Structure 1
């Protein structure tokens, strides 16, 4: 027993340099990943003039919430926030449902033409009709300048479907066989047996879908001209292209009200960026325990 303890101590001492080096490397990578978000945050609570001059680097100066107060006055910000949240919640929910439903039927050997349809669906990952035919198709379907342009075209994610299908195929076949003996149909088995056991992979594809919906601005740019349907990301995109005009507008409104405004273009851009990225970042901690397991389950595509 004493020899085993001494051996463990020797091994532990021999591993110290390795552990120290790995710890330092890991800490450096963590700092590299965290610093952009930290820098963004300290810029949004610092004096706008100092941010504009590039004097904010490691810590905030001239603490103020003026940037957030001024950005909240941006026209259409509230409506864009509502559209983005509605799109993300509804789009993610429907995408998870339709993707998992399609994946479930592709696991059934008795499905007519299963291999052909599966290969046809997977082929869409590599071949596309092109931007103009897709635009014309959406136009003929009457989706332009409607909220559903955000939801319907991307309701089925092929890559996500493959991950869910792989996870479902790892389930013991006896679970469904026992349900079949009790007279359960496909929908009953799918809802009551299959879906409850797919939480890890559904959390994974749900996160993929939510991030995709939240960050997308190209759909708005291509298919939407009504300001009431603009998303937060497209609003940010417009501000990045017209940031100086936006800052002048805010300053003019402040002068008309008889209040002083020190807002600067860089402050508007950074504060809007923070408002856009913080909500989606807050989602990850709640599904982390499912996400890591789901990624491992779907690591081998089938």
Structure 2
């Protein structure tokens, strides 16, 4: 009887702790959503917690009124889909080759790959390389430089090495070569790790704004994240105007503020990728741990 009571008390403590953790994790996102729907000037008074005090769509209207936003969304979606597919394809093929014991010099290839995790060429040499390869101001600058992920390759490689060799031997007996074994045996077994790494890669492509700010001048090739970053920067610059008359005029003609625009911008860029999470959630734990248990 005493043991049963102790178990219930322990479970109650665990549930309360998990509830508090869930609240602490979710509340900042919810508060950002609330602020994005609240009138900006009213938000500066404080007290906005769980629900908008003066509900408005003006923040989103300001962010989305630029006609380039739709084009930017198209570029971001195209980049995310094509970049994720090609990165996963290239990385998985590379990892499968590195997992084969019969590959001559694979130890040296692995050393060269790991070096890239610790050392980079720097911004200026990379800029000159991109321009020399003819990718400057093209869509391919989003895809080709990141088509191989060494970190994902290591996880793929570890997972491939844990696949029972008997399965691959059976495939070879049935007449499959390396490509047939990879496509018909290895990849179908790699669903969890493939889904998890695909999501990580998609998030990286979706959230990136820096590449376009360096290598893209064509307005039709700028993703939505870069456009929204420019919107925030331009509004911050406007608020830094020192002329009191100009500041007074701005305050009278608009109700949004830098904070309200930042929150609306964050929601616009975050919600599309957040929607993907529930569909891949069941792969997370297994996908991440399956390639990291042993080497």
TM over 0.5: yes
CA contact (8 A) 1:160 1:205 kept: yes
Q: Does structure 1 residue 232 correspond to structure 2 residue 237?
A: no
Query: Aligned-pair distance for 1:161?
Result: 0.5
Query: Aligned-pair distance for 1:53?
Result: 3.4
1:159 is aligned, of 146, 151, 157, to 151
CA contact (8 A) 1:203 1:287 kept: yes
Distance in 2 (alpha carbons) for counterparts of 1:66 and 1:221 = 27
- Using a 3 Å threshold, how does the CA distance of structure 1 residues 149 and 51 change in structure 2: closer, same or farther? same
Query: Aligned-pair distance for 1:67?
Result: 3.0
**Offset from partner CA, 1:242-262 (integer Å, 9 cap, x none):** 115789xxxxxxxxxxxx964
User: Which residues in structure 2 correspond to 1:64-79 (within 5 Å)?
Assistant: 64-79=56-71
- State the match for 2:275 in structure 1: 282
Distance in 1 (alpha carbons) for counterparts of 2:5 and 2:107 = 56
- Using a 3 Å threshold, how does the CA distance of structure 1 residues 246 and 203 change in structure 2: closer, same or farther? farther
CA contact (8 A) 2:83 2:143 kept: yes
- State the match for 2:286 in structure 1: 293
Distance in 1 (alpha carbons) for counterparts of 2:118 and 2:37 = 45
Task: Say which is worse superposed, 197-206 or 71-80, in terms of deviation.
Answer: 71-80
- State the match for 1:175 in structure 2: 167
CA contact (8 A) 1:162 1:301 kept: no
**Offset from partner CA, 1:96-151 (integer Å, 9 cap, x none):** 11111111111111112121112211221112222221111111001111111110
1:216 is aligned, of 202, 208, 221, to 208
CA contact (8 A) 1:44 1:67 kept: yes
Q: Does structure 1 residue 115 correspond to structure 2 residue 107?
A: yes
RMSD, aligned CA? 2.0
User: Which residues in structure 2 correspond to 1:49-64 (within 5 Å)?
Assistant: 49-64=41-56
**Offset from partner CA, 1:47-89 (integer Å, 9 cap, x none):** 3331243342232122233433343212411111111111111
Q: Does structure 1 residue 41 correspond to structure 2 residue 33?
A: yes
- State the match for 1:139 in structure 2: 131
Aligned length: 282
- State the match for 1:273 in structure 2: 266
Distance in 1 (alpha carbons) for counterparts of 2:262 and 2:109 = 46
SS in 2 for 1:203: helix
Under a length normalisation based on structure 1, what TM-score does the superposition of the two structures give? 0.87
Under a length normalisation based on structure 2, what TM-score does the superposition of the two structures give? 0.89
1:99 is aligned, of 63, 86, 91, to 91
Structure 1 residues without counterparts, runs of 5 or longer: 1-8, 248-259
Structure 2 residues without counterparts, runs of 5 or longer: 240-252
